[in-house]
Chain A
Amino acid sequence: MYDFEFEKPGSIAEAVAALSGEDAQALGGGQTLIPTLKQRLNAPGKLVSLTGIAEMRGVCVGDGGEVIIGGATPHAVVAAGAGAYPALAALAGQIGDPAVRNRGTIGGSLANNDPAACYPAAALGSGAVIVTNAREIAADDYFQGMFTTALEEGEIITEVRFPVPQAAHYEKFVQPASRFALTGVFVARFADGVRVAVTGASEEGVFRWTDAEAALSETFAPEAIDGLNVAAEGMIGDLHGTPDYRAHLVKVITKRAVKAAQ
């Protein structure tokens, strides 16, 4: 790993100032970034740790009943503390392994937008709002393709607001070596319709399966999507699975998620 300067500000304002310099990059829990630095795939001049900012840590329930999670909150804290949104807490408790969950943060996961990460499915499936130091971004506008988001240079995710659905479930088909999702589906049923977000499958990263959403909004049951299929085109193909296999998994895992959410 190439050397870099290290800074650990205590407030969002200080962090934004520290990130304004050339070649500076934010560091969440580092569970992806540090391995990336070790491989010399990335060589920032300065890392600005966000883990010392108290106002960015913790879970609470907002006035409208939404679950609000600070951007620097580790997965383990969400797993234990987001009881008001059980499907979200369960998802956080399935990321990586226990030691990874004690370091990795929701802001880091969403900023990285790994195509097989779990949190993007929760944010998109819930219609969450990603709050940064500068603005609020709807999840539908935030995810812009594999490892690509609406975040500007130096912009920090300070919190994420999740509306709580009537019923929801995240079904994860684990790739056991990496513990990422080979395919994962987050299904959320709201009063005005159902959202279905798929991670791990598409070369474009997390996406909404809108055909399934329409069918499930009519009838919230696994059989409702019997007649639907996902095209293999654009699905990820690697040594763990072909595009055809992943396209098939999307449907199977969606049905399991609906059944568990019922």
Chain B
Amino acid sequence: MRIEVEVNGRRVGGDVEGRTLLSGFLRDTLRLTGTHVGCDTSQCGACVVHVDGVAVKSCTMLAAEADGCSISTIEGQASEDGTLNAIQQAFQDHHGLQCGFCTPGMVMSAAALLKENPKPTEAEVRHYLEGNLCRCTGYHNIVKAIMAASGQDVGAIAAE
């Protein structure tokens, strides 16, 4: 079947099967491979994108369900000229990634958090990220980066 969606502000369409996952449609049909598929069992959160403004795990949503929706992916976060957004820049400044595999999902989850809670506490950030797994950093610098992106002083947060 044919679906029409808006991805990062651009109208696009494509043919999908009933079983096509949103993650597969983004990666294989649209070639937007910034959305990563880690576990494919909705545990790891590397595939988080926003659908109509809310974070979802794109490996656990059918592409057909997204017909007519507005989708934001990691590719839409930086400006056209490549300037990183505040969250991405904070991840770079605070070394919030090592291998980078989980980072697209982390950035998209962080964006969803800061949209509903612009000044979260450290505990709230950690709690919100319970559906995003990172096997490199131990989370400390990810949390620090998100706190910094929210405009809060991160001097007191331990870096490890």
Please list the residues of chain A having a beta carbon within 8 angstroms of any beta carbon in chain B: 1-6, 8, 27, 30-31, 34-35, 37-38, 46-47, 49, 51, 76, 96-100, 102-103, 177, 179
Contact = CB atoms under 8 A, between A and B. Distances in A.
The prevalent SS among residues of B at the interface is: mixed
Query: Taking chain A's interface residues, is the majority helix, strand, or loop, or is none over half, making it mixed?
Result: mixed
A6 B56 contact: no
Given A35-B60, A99-B112, 12 more contacts: A1-B19, A8-B64, A30-B65, A31-B60, A46-B18, A96-B131, A97-B131, A98-B131, A100-B57, A102-B56, A103-B56, A179-B131
B18 A103 contact: no
A99 B48 CA distance: 7
Contacts of A8: 64-65, 67
13 contacts: A1-B19, A6-B64, A30-B60, A34-B21, A98-B113, A98-B128, A98-B131, A99-B45, A99-B109, A100-B42, A102-B54, A102-B56, A103-B57
Nearest to A178: B43
A98 B61 contact: no
A49 B3 CA distance: 15
Contacts of B113: 98
Contact of B109 (A4, A98, A103): A98
Contacts of A3: 17-19
A49 B56 contact: no
B79 interface: no
Nearest to A51: B65
Contacts of A47: 18, 62
Nearest to A49: B65
Contact of A34 (B43, B62, B131): B62
Contacts of B19: 1-4, 37
